[in-house]
A and B are shown apart, each in its own frame.
Chain A
């Protein structure tokens, strides 16, 4: 019955309108974009209605009542379509707001990522970040003990000096053998060969890089400006230990020698 609307007699026009209204309500459900209701149904309604008037002669009373019914149906359809469009607009606005909030959230997260990352890494010690030891809690280095039965490590000492600095900088202790957890002392000697007071500042590096996290210096002479008077020679000690956790780390099993290398630069203060 619904397949050939044009051939139906005039009395059954309401089924046509019912079909069209049903179709418009159906189309408003899942994919409104596929059946743009305004372009199809309304014009179809209009064309169908106009065809009806032309092709099927009707009695005047019938015509009057049916046209009234038709205009009513048209109005109902228009109302439904307005409601549909309003709902569609609402849904578009709400999805736009969702997307905007997601964008804002993600950009905020990217700003928060740096401190969050540092926090997570320091707490869980992921990716080799050494856990920050709370020395005040442990009461200093009292709990640092040589690990029993651990492999003896050879610590070599190296000294470099910058070309612009007129100092002679040598290690006095070339090598010390320690066990992880054992505190040890080493000496460097710096001589100022020039005629003026020079301020130097030093930095260090530990080789192999993976063992650097276990090399703890209790006290040394780096990162602070050291002033040497003209023709003065000074002994500089380094007091250090290898963290006891070194013995438990499987990645450190092939490490037998660690080299501590100091480099003196001319400080900008001079």
Chain B
């Protein structure tokens, strides 16, 4: 093998050397820390090999928080570079890599895993189950996501990051115009984590359809569980498109095929179509669960049941169907003509109708309630007015003719941040604050939480509202610099100030986790918010078997009915509980996949083949392993329940 060390190197920027050093220092710190405190065994037994949906959920959320900061630093660098005309902070290539990874990381490695993390923690509890349908598959999903994310992240310091935008339009992303390995990373990192996401989709559909507690009919499910079910159906239909598109991209870049290139009949528009056939449903994959989270929180803190349950479910179903027939609105300007553009305009605007239904149902859930302004509720309430701006500008963009003026401008950038930040980020933060005490047994501090909230909400508007106006002034997205005559300077400076404020808000938010871990009093009864759904019916922190006795559901909001209408939930005696046993194979599979991806990125064929065989061996080992799990004996369950005290049995 002839190694060319040059292609691994990224040159020039002091920022990149800084990143290399910090990655190295953090890695050394983690290794030294684990060794000094003798935590390697603990890490392996309790986390790396776990199949417990709660722990997997926590790992998803931790990874998502890390990625939030990585993507946030990208955002700060972009806003700084464009804060004033002719800035010299980043050069064009570096800027292009930064906005590409910002998009990829925030959507695929922050928003999605955060939501999947919350799904993991909450859904089995909400339906009264002991785990997901396929606990080991769940671990495989997580480790594939995690190592996919790591693969994309090392691109920054080894070989160079993707630089053709998160949508990687061809022929720009082809070898001809993007000769670095950056877009190889794109095709492989997304592929590896995408396979994990697809498995999550299958896993949660089966879990929700087959593992609900007795009596929990579909129309008695909590709204978050409904949203997760619909989301996972979208995942199962949308992600195979991405899988195929990424595979074709990899063939184009590594093996000389010509699916999307300029030569030999390659079709650049085919990539754009495939990408957005996945990409638009992807937006709803992150937003529908958010709707579910808000539904839970708004009902809980209004002390009311959710208004218009049936129309809430119906509207999500309609949104999920429409999400598959709107993709061409991402390229009205491709010259499809009036008929096609008209069709996609109408389907796109139609989404406003079910979305409006949800907004009004939330407003009427508040009506006649008794609203308490806790931190999770504040985020949920801030969501309504801000997201509505995102929604109405979405309708404006949906009008094909007007879009000829908005397309690729900052107006579009403002719009989708006004949709995705309240629609996904506020939701996961709200859900994080809301379910945190369930997982860890204590609440996050309200005072610090509200400080973070106001920083985030106000700074968000300062950062993104000016972009609407910049768009109307004709500023296009993805420009690494502009001249002073354009007059774009002042508004960009305001936006940069907002970005700084957002950063401060997120730092306060994380500080709150640290502070609360040290000082917050521990919850006694597992139900700190006086909530309504089943997850609050068990102890906090949750025992590994979730419920000592499987609950019997007789209505919506069964836990509320138990507390206020004296409806009994747990009637059976405690018996032995069947649990899945831990396994290290999903982690090993993730590691092997990581190396397979890495070697393919650099076209190192022999190591890649070895790693590929390794993948097959691990898969075979998983398939042929006989493991029927284990039983927790009844007396041990009773002992645990007594120790946890209070509670429900």
Tell whether A pairs with B.
Answer: no
Enumerate chain A interface residues (CB-CB to B < 8 A): none
